[in-house]
Amino acid sequence: MRFAHVFPPGSDDPRLVLVDGEDAVLVEELFHGAPRYLEELIAGGDAMLEQVRDAAGGGTRHPLVDQRYASALLTPPVILAIGLNYAAHSSELGLKTDSNPTVFVLWPNSLTGHDATTTWPRSLSESIDYEAELGVIIGTPAKNVSPDDALDHVWGYTVVNDITARDIQYSEAQWSRCKSFDGFTPTGPFVVTADEVPDPQDLHIWTVLDGRTMQDASTGQMVRTVATLISHLSSSVTLLPGTLISTGSPGGAGYSRDPQVFLRDRSTVTVGIDGIGELTTHCRILG
């Protein structure tokens, strides 16, 4: 199944929809007590998901083409990001892939949706880069899980663009601020349930910037698989339902190119993962 958060006409309060082909079905209209947000659907467990699945045929359909999207997740308990998880990306940034994952936290103000406009002041950075990433959403609490059991705790998958101010990244000891400007973590537009992705290590992942393909890779090139990442993270902290894990970006970053390629004023960047979705961001530089 495929879900998204959209803004109903005239409202700035997003609602959960079930995506059915080219149509969107407002989930809260399906039955009494139906979830309004993805977080509520995840909290309801398998029983709630099955209830939505059974009721989906009776919902009113609205064309997807008319929808304005919010972030795939609205209030995740935490956004965990993994750095240097593709060897090509580590190499092009001149950074070493360590024996354990590089983990940092993204701030919730950075979340935004598909087709949104992300802005930043020129005075703060002119070295803004894109990073296509597979987003993993936890469905059930995960603590000390083995790699063999880790994927059982995944509710679904989405697309993430981990936008980064490279100059700030290389000037500070931590990576959270350079990746957490307002709107620097677009997600979505869709969340695909885990049963729709038999193997998260067999997905085509790519980026197109202003009509030019910049990243073109496979999630099979990850240094550490999704299952390994979940197992590692769960060894020190309980991964709560709704947690979003952004699993790292493949090679092809703009920072490493000669000449360098960064997001410009009025740039349009689309990151995508086959079978999950295409996520577009419009860029405006202020000042």
Q: Please give the full DSSP string across 4-57, using - where no structure is assigned.
A: EEEEPTT-SS-EEEEEETTEEEEGGGSSTT--SSHHHHHHTHHHHHHHHHHHGG
Identify residue 121 by its one-letter amino acid code: P
Structure confidence at residue 87 (pLDDT): 80
Structure confidence at residue 90 (pLDDT): 57
What's CA 104's distance to the chain center, in Å?
15
CB 42 within 8 A of CB 5: no
- Give CA angle at 278 (106, 90), nearest 5°: 50
Structure confidence at residue 91 (pLDDT): 62
Helices (H), 94-193: 147-150, 166-169
Residues 6+ apart with CB under 8 A from 18: 1, 2, 3, 24, 25, 27, 30, 52, 56, 59
Structure confidence at residue 93 (pLDDT): 63
CB 263 within 8 A of CB 128: yes
Identify residue 201 by its one-letter amino acid code: Q
- CATH class of the 79-286 domain in this structure: alpha beta
Convert the pLDDT of each residue in 252-268 to its tens digit.
999 989 999 999 999 99
Domains of the chain by residue range: 2-69, 79-286
Structure confidence at residue 94 (pLDDT): 65
Convert the pLDDT of each residue in 155-183 to its tens digit.
999 999 999 999 999 999 899 999 999 99
Please name which of 29, 35, 14 lies closest in space to residue 60, comparing C-alpha atoms.
Answer: 29
Structure confidence at residue 101 (pLDDT): 87
b/e 256-277 (16+ beta carbons within 10 angstroms → b): beeeebbbeeebebbbbbeebb
The pTM score is 0.95
Q: Report residues of the chain scoring pLDDT below 50.
A: none
